[in-house]
Amino acid sequence: MEHQDKYYKGLFFGALLGAAAGTIMGLIFAPHKGTETQQIISGKIKHALDKATDLYEGNEHDGAYSNDAKTRSQEIIDTARDEAKKILNEANSIIREIKGYPKAKEN
C-alpha cells in the first residue's frame, strides 16, 4: 500500500512539475510578446463568455427552463469570468518575473 501511495505522489508531483516547466517554456518561446499573447487569450475568453451570455439571455424558450438552471448557469458564467481574470493575472505575473519587473499589486 505504501508503494502505491509513493507512486501516486510521484506521479502527481511529476505532472505538476511538467505543467510548470511547460508553462514557463511556452512563455519563453512564445511567438508573440507577452502583452500580445495576453490580448489574444483575453479576447478569446471574452468572446466565449459574451457568446455564452448571449445564448443565455437571448433564449426564446425561457419558460422551458427552470429558474434553478438559469441561476446555476449564471454562477458558472461568473465563475468562468473570475477564473479567466485569475489566469490572466498569473500570466502577467509570470511574464513580469521573466522580464525582471517587480510584481504588480493584486486587486
Residues 22, 64, single domain; the answer is no
pLDDT value for 15: 93
Counted domains in the chain: 2
CA 53 from chain centre, in angstroms, equals: 18
pLDDT along the chain (107 residues), means of 10: 80 91 82 79 85 73 64 86 87 82 57
Which residues neighbour 41 within 8 Å (Cβ) at sequence distance 6 or greater?
87, 88, 91
- CA 37 to CA 107: how far, in whole Å? 21
Residues 56, 100, single domain; the answer is yes
Predicted TM-score (pTM) of this structure: 0.36
Residues 85, 47, single domain; the answer is yes
Residues 1, 38, single domain; the answer is no
Residues 24, 45, single domain; the answer is no
Residues 26, 44, single domain; the answer is no
Residues 66, 95, single domain; the answer is yes
pLDDT value for 51: 86
Residues 68, 96, single domain; the answer is yes
Domain that holds residue 18: 1-30
Residues 6, 57, single domain; the answer is no
Residues 106, 55, single domain; the answer is yes
